[in-house]
Chains A and B, each alone.
Chain A
Amino acid sequence: MSVDLQTVKRVARLARIAVSEEDAERMTGELNAILGFVEQLNEVDVSGVGPMTSVTPMEMKKRQDVVTDGNKAADIVANAPATEENFFLVPKVVE
């Protein structure tokens, strides 16, 4: 499979990365080189093989469903580019 310019622009939109016409053209070539490289996986017979879901065979660790942390609103927003009274500020979303 390979991608065309339109697909690259669509994927960039999905990934929320602004691309110029020039970027998209360059990326088309690069992505096709990588997709060409991974193409060889199609020759592997995977019948009867499941996908890997856990790297180390172990049961998922669980803990009691209780509050162990919190009351750190100021810490949470400390690194944000724009905040007001411990809220993240973003451009208007709803008119």
Chain B
Amino acid sequence: MSDLTRLTISQARAKLRGKEITATEITEAYLSAIDRANPALNAYVAVTGDRARDMAKASDARLVKGEGGALEGIPLGIKDLFGTEGVHTQACSHVLDGFKPLYESTVTANLWADGAVMLGKLNMDEFAMGSSNETSYYGPVINPWRRSRLDTVVMPTTHQGDGGFVSAGGTKTQRSLDNAQLVPGGSSGGSATAVSAFLCAGATATDTGGSIRQPAAFTGTVGIKPTYGRCSRWGIVAFASSLDQAGPIARDVRDAAILLRSMASVDPKDTTSVDRPVPDYEAAIGKPIKGMKVGIPKEYRVDGMPEEIEALWQKGIAWLRDAGAEIVDISLPHTKYALPAYYIVAPAEASSNLARYDGVRYGLRVPGKDIVEMYEKTRAAGFGREVKRRIMIGTYVLSAGYYDAYYLQAQKVRNLIKRDFENVFAAGVDVILTPATPSAAFGIADEDMAADPVKMYLNDIFTVTVNMAGLPGIAVPAGLDPKGLPLGLQLIGRPFEEETLFQTAAVIEQAAGTFQPEKWW
């Protein structure tokens, strides 16, 4: 039998329903792929093999009776930020050592209700703070993609067989992989690597400033951050509550649409969950985009952006124009302030949300001579450097005398960023096309970024605006750079118009194709 892990969700769904394969078979195929690959890629921090087998067995029983749900028997990976009952849920932080919630997050509960199978919990940046998946307590995730070189090889003249055939020689080109390990992006680096390396059919992820879209772009996968309020945040470890949204990472646009439909819901347990029915996103795929107005924001052309990113953007524009869309130049004048405003708002909210890790109710406790020393030692030992940095910034900008200058100013700028988008949408723009990231995947332990936290933050320059305005954004692979690494384009839509994003992303995907890494692990 061919490798079941290579099937997309839509292909596997058809084969499961058609009883050509069983949920148990596909689950076993993924579990053995994880077994072989995880030592090299470090995508999973916990594999739930027994539970996966039980869930698959139950799925098979339902499939036999023709009672399968929308995701019946589809094996998924779950980011460690999602609360999963009785299973490792630690936001990849030391401070949550041993935490196993007695409840299930709404998003994962929705997935299980639709018949999905849980393979395990995926690595991520600690508390979703990072753009390279290097801040995880469980070590970095490795990108399955590696840089490659095109070599021209001279073919030797050969004599062959009895007939004395002599080949004339000549040259051919071949790609050879470089050994340098690259980051998968972050914070959902485990999700992106697992999907790209065929270690799950699809994965859950979360996005506070780009944590779904940037890793998707770095691994040649599709990632969508839906509109704020579309997926319930209940049961997801909180980072910055006004920015956090869950979404899927998948191998193609259709799979992302299938997953989002199951993940999204109206949830009374999250007061910011929006009362709107969840549409059939998949139905938007294949609809023509003729006459659609696509905005190209001039502010996304930044200094020092590599040529290949600009070239990719132009290719995307051409594809959409060829499909009948109308391309218009637009301006989002406050774009450059989104990242600095984010680095006030997100740390401020994080410093409040992470106050709960005090060594009393869950996780790590380091004893002290009194309760304050116990708190301080627990938090000093439990949080990594990046998390501490952000808690410190957040505490500072919220402290007496600085609140107005920093936090209030940032929240006002945030309204201006949102207004920029509202203005272009009011002018008739349906969707905005930008690059997803300012570069392709970079190396593990990049010295420049380690020396200057702001350099790392710049990875999110094109994605963070979307979180600040609460809009939906999708990253879709659009090509390879000269070193053979995937690059992505981003589409930004009006609130709750995820269907437009799937519709448009499918056009890009059809023109660009899909991308798989060459297996070295």
> Residues of A at under 8 Å CB distance from B?
1, 3, 7-8, 11-19, 27, 30-31, 33-35, 37-42, 44, 46, 49-53, 55-56, 58, 60-61, 63, 72, 75, 77-82, 88, 90-93
Q: Which of B453-500 contact A (CB under 8 A)?
A: 453-454, 457, 470, 495
Q: Is the CB of B395 within 8 A of A40?
A: no
Chain A hits for B368, CB < 8 A? 91
Interface segment among B138-146, B188-196, B358-366: the answer is B358-366
23 A-B residue pairs with CB within 8 Å: A1-B405, A8-B392, A14-B395, A15-B379, A15-B392, A16-B375, A17-B380, A17-B391, A30-B453, A31-B392, A31-B393, A34-B343, A38-B343, A40-B337, A41-B340, A42-B409, A46-B416, A51-B408, A52-B242, A56-B274, A58-B229, A79-B98, A92-B370
Q: Whole-angstrom distance from the CB of B199 to the nearest CB of chain A?
A: 28
Does B344 lie at the interface of the complex (its beta carbon under 8 Å from any beta carbon of A)?
yes
Query: Measured between alpha carbons, how far is A44 from B336 in the docked complex, in Å?
Result: 11
The contact of A46 among B242, B374, B413, by CB within 8 Å, is B413
Interface range on chain B (Cβ under 8 Å from partner): 35 or more
Chain B hits for A37, CB < 8 A? 339-340, 343, 454, 457
Q: Per DSSP, are chain A's interface residues mostly helix, strand or loop, or mixed? A: loop
Q: Whole-angstrom distance from the CB of B151 to the nearest CB of chain A?
A: 41
The contact of B453 among A34, A88, A90, by CB within 8 Å, is A34
Q: Is the CB of A38 within 8 A of B344?
A: yes
Q: Is the CB of A55 within 8 A of B242?
A: yes
Does B396 lie at the interface of the complex (its beta carbon under 8 Å from any beta carbon of A)?
yes
The contact of A79 among B340, B361, B388, B399, by CB within 8 Å, is B361
Q: Is the CB of B454 within 8 A of A49?
A: no
Supplied contacts A3-B396, A14-B395, 6 more A-B pairs, CB within 8 Å: A15-B395, A17-B379, A34-B389, A79-B102, A81-B365, A88-B361
Q: Is the CB of A41 within 8 A of B411?
A: no
Query: Measured between alpha carbons, how far is A52 from B468 in the docked complex, in Å?
Result: 10
Q: Is the CB of A55 within 8 A of B340?
A: no
Output the nearest chain B residue to A45 by Cβ-Cβ distance: B416
Chain A hits for B373, CB < 8 A? 18
Q: Whole-angstrom distance from the CB of A90 to the nearest CB of chain B?
A: 5
Query: Contact string, B397-415, partner A, CB cutoff 8 A, digits 1/0?
Result: 0010010011011111111
How many A-B pairs fall under 8 Å by CB?
164
Query: Measured between alpha carbons, how far is A90 from B229 in the docked complex, in Å?
Result: 37
A56 and B229 contact, Cβ closer than 8 Å, known pairs A17-B388, A79-B363: yes
Query: Measured between alpha carbons, how far is A52 from B422 in the docked complex, in Å?
Result: 14
Q: Is the CB of B268 within 8 A of A44?
A: no
Query: Measured between alpha carbons, how far is A14 from B341 in the docked complex, in Å?
Result: 23
Q: Is the CB of B370 within 8 A of A91?
A: yes
Does B27 lie at the interface of the complex (its beta carbon under 8 Å from any beta carbon of A)?
no
Does B84 lie at the interface of the complex (its beta carbon under 8 Å from any beta carbon of A)?
no
Query: Measured between alpha carbons, how far is A28 from B391 in the docked complex, in Å?
Result: 14
Chain B hits for A13, CB < 8 A? 376
Q: Is the CB of B409 within 8 A of A46?
A: yes
Q: Is the CB of B371 within 8 A of A91?
A: yes
Query: Measured between alpha carbons, how far is A92 from B374 in the docked complex, in Å?
Result: 11
Does B351 lie at the interface of the complex (its beta carbon under 8 Å from any beta carbon of A)?
yes
Does B127 lie at the interface of the complex (its beta carbon under 8 Å from any beta carbon of A)?
no
Does B377 lie at the interface of the complex (its beta carbon under 8 Å from any beta carbon of A)?
yes
Q: Whole-angstrom distance from the CB of B454 to the nearest CB of chain A?
A: 5
The contact of B360 among A12, A58, A63, A88, by CB within 8 Å, is A88
Does B228 lie at the interface of the complex (its beta carbon under 8 Å from any beta carbon of A)?
yes
The contact of B372 among A16, A46, A82, by CB within 8 Å, is A16
Chain B hits for A38, CB < 8 A? 340-341, 343-344, 406, 410
Output the nearest chain A residue to B371 by Cβ-Cβ distance: A91
Does B20 lie at the interface of the complex (its beta carbon under 8 Å from any beta carbon of A)?
no
Q: Is the CB of A61 within 8 A of B229?
A: no
Among A12, A60, A81, A92, chain B packs the most CB atoms within 10 A around the CB of A81
Query: Measured between alpha carbons, how far is A39 from B319 in the docked complex, in Å?
Result: 39
Chain A hits for B108, CB < 8 A? none
Output the nearest chain A residue to B334 by Cβ-Cβ distance: A44
Among A7, A55, A88, chain B packs the most CB atoms within 10 A around the CB of A55
Q: Is the CB of B392 within 8 A of A27?
A: yes
Q: Is the CB of A41 within 8 A of B410?
A: yes
A51 and B412 contact, Cβ closer than 8 Å, known pairs A17-B388, A56-B228, A61-B271: yes
Q: Whole-angstrom distance from the CB of B119 to the nearest CB of chain A?
A: 24
Chain B hits for A78, CB < 8 A? 102
Does B418 lie at the interface of the complex (its beta carbon under 8 Å from any beta carbon of A)?
yes
Q: Whole-angstrom distance from the CB of B439 to the nearest CB of chain A?
A: 19
Q: Whole-angstrom distance from the CB of A30 to the nearest CB of chain B?
A: 6
Output the nearest chain A residue to B266 by Cβ-Cβ distance: A61
The contact of B380 among A1, A19, A44, A50, by CB within 8 Å, is A19
Query: Measured between alpha carbons, how far is A37 from B363 in the docked complex, in Å?
Result: 34
A41 and B413 contact, Cβ closer than 8 Å, known pairs A11-B399, A30-B389, A58-B274: yes
Does B99 lie at the interface of the complex (its beta carbon under 8 Å from any beta carbon of A)?
yes
Query: Measured between alpha carbons, how far is A37 from B344 in the docked complex, in Å?
Result: 10
Chain A hits for B406, CB < 8 A? 38
Does B48 lie at the interface of the complex (its beta carbon under 8 Å from any beta carbon of A)?
no
A90 and B344 contact, Cβ closer than 8 Å, known pairs A34-B454, A52-B411, A55-B229: no
Chain B hits for A90, CB < 8 A? 360, 371, 374
Q: Whole-angstrom distance from the CB of A89 to the nearest CB of chain B?
A: 8
Chain B hits for A82, CB < 8 A? 365
Q: Is the CB of A41 within 8 A of B102?
A: no
Q: Whole-angstrom distance from the CB of B132 to the nearest CB of chain A?
A: 17
Does B38 lie at the interface of the complex (its beta carbon under 8 Å from any beta carbon of A)?
no
Q: Is the CB of B392 within 8 A of A17?
A: yes
Chain A hits for B408, CB < 8 A? 51
